């Protein structure tokens, strides 16, 4: 026999059609909920399908319709709390709509270039969601070249919908909190753009820090420590700032993970928080509450849910203009921030 051997176990649409006593086309329509089918026919079809435990072949359906009912989710680091939380929100919204989720975790600069070299999304998704990756021109072309809607979380791309928060404003409010407590020497622990994934978050949060300081007429020279992102980075950055001839009395960490690292450094240095050093983080990480860390909350899960919703509406209304949603943030004051013990100026005195 020529051609191809028939597939295993599964019953096919023809089987359902035969069993229900209708044509193939009617089964297809009934199963996909087309309004052209009479209620009576539909229920006969459904019954036949159930009794045969029939499931449509996604491959055949995709080939014939051109739709994949799949969305690609591209995430820099699935292991970071923030991203995992966004992915959870996305996954839920997408699966509820019957979409499949293809996960691509870049991991590092290497993984990133492998991804863009192969562009494994081509011809296999109806839409793409990208998290927090500032794309260069070339990458942008590759993504838009997919010819499907693109939704961004925590970043923007011309012509694409996006969700996020106002990082600059939120950072400014965090730093203002320290200023209002009376701090004047305020440092920032900043995550360097390590594997060069081009996050914009560090830039924006630093900008917010500078803005708040400038508004208050405070000096920032030498008070920003840039280290690799993450707890260890935060620990090192804190060490750097402590080594300053005149250390800050408070620090703003780009993320809670960095703040947590800073707390360790302070603990090991024997400095009491908040008495001798105030620390404020950003994100309201799971652990922030446990460590009594003052921070800035953002609705992370909801960013994922919103992105899912944007994907669905982008698919439903391909010609609708892109949307840009900014979700609110909120200062959460806990136990790691307090007024400086002694005014920061002239006679700062911190026992070693």
Residues making contact with DNA (CB under 7 A) = 1-7, 10, 12-14, 21-26, 28-29, 31-32, 36-38, 40-42, 54, 56-57, 60-61, 63-67
346 binds its own copies per the rule CB under 8 A: no
Q: Of the two residues 93 and 208, which places its CB atom closer to its own copies in the complex?
A: 93
Q: Are 161 and 322 in contact (CB under 8 A)?
A: yes
Which entry of DNA, its own copies, none binds 25, CB below 5 to 8 A by partner kind?
Answer: DNA
DSSP per-residue letters across 50-68: HHTT----HHHHHHHHS--
**Region near its own copies per CB under 8 A, out of 39-47, 103-111, 208-216, 238-246:** 103-111
**Region near its own copies per CB under 8 A, out of 192-200, 258-266, 309-317, 336-344:** 258-266
Task: For the chain, give percent helix, strand, coil, nearest 5.
Answer: 40, 15, 40
* 78 φψ region: left (φ > 0), alpha (ψ -120 to 50), beta (else): alpha
Q: For the CA atoms of 6, 10, 15, 19, what is the dihedral angle to 10 degrees? A: 160
Q: Of the two residues 2 and 118, which places its CB atom closer to DNA in the complex?
A: 2
| The one among 18, 41, 104, 348 contacting its own copies by CB under 8 A | 104
Token pair, residue 342, equals 């002694």
Q: Which of 261, 303, 304, 299 minimizes the C-alpha distance to 281? A: 261
What is the closest distance, in whole angstroms, from the C-beta atom of residue 70 to DNA in the complex? 14
Q: Are 162 and 151 in contact (CB under 8 A)?
A: yes
Convert residues 175-214 into a mask of x (bound to its own copies by CB under 8 A) and - (unbound): ----------------------------------------
Query: Residues with Cβ < 8 Å from 1, sequence gap 6 or more?
Result: none
Q: Could you tell me which residues are beta bridge partners of residue 73?
A: 103, 129
- Binding footprint of its own copies on the chain (CB under 8 A): 4, 7-10, 55-60, 62-64, 66, 68, 73, 77-79, 81, 84-85, 87-88, 91-92, 95, 100-105, 107, 111, 120, 122-124, 147, 231, 235, 260-261, 263-264, 286-287, 289-292
């Amino acid at each position: 026999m020529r051609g191809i051997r028939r597939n295993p176990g599964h019953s096919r649409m023809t089987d359902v059609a035969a069993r229900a006593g209708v044509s193939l086309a009617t089964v297809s329509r009934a199963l996909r909920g087309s309004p052209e089918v009479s209620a009576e026919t539909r229920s006969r079809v459904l019954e036949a399908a159930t009794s045969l435990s029939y499931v449509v072949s996604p491959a055949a359906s995709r080939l014939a319709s051109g739709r994949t009912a799949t969305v690609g989710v591209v995430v820099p680091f699935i292991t970071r709390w923030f991203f995992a939380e966004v992915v959870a929100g996305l996954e839920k919204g997408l699966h509820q709509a019957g979409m499949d989720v293809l996960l691509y975790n870049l991991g590092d600069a290497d993984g990133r270039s492998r991804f863009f070299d192969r562009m494994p999304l081509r011809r296999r998704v109806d839409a793409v969601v990208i998290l927090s990756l500032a794309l260069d021109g070339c990458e942008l072309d590759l993504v838009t070249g997919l010819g499907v809607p693109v939704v961004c979380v925590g970043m923007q791309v011309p012509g694409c919908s996006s969700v996020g928060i106002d990082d600059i404003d939120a950072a400014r409010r965090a730093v203002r909190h320290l200023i209002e407590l009376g701090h004047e020497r305020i440092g920032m622990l900043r995550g360097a753009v390590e594997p060069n994934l081009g996050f914009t978050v560090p830039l924006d949060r630093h900008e917010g820090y500078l803005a708040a300081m400038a508004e208050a007429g405070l000096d920032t020279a030498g008070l920003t420590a840039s280290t690799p992102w993450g707890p260890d980075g935060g620990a090192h950055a804190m060490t750097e700032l402590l080594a300053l001839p005149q250390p800050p009395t408070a620090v703003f960490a780009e993320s809670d993970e960095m703040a947590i690292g800073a707390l360790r450094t302070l603990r090991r240095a024997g400095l009491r928080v908040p008495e001798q050093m105030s620390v404020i983080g950003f994100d309201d990480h799971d652990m922030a509450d446990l460590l009594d860390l003052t921070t800035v909350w953002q609705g992370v899960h909801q960013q994922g849910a919103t992105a899912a919703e944007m994907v669905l509406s982008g698919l439903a209304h391909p010609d609708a203009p892109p949307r840009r949603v900014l979700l609110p943030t909120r200062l959460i004051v806990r136990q790691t921030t307090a007024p400086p013990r002694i005014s920061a100026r002239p006679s700062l005195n911190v026992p070693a």
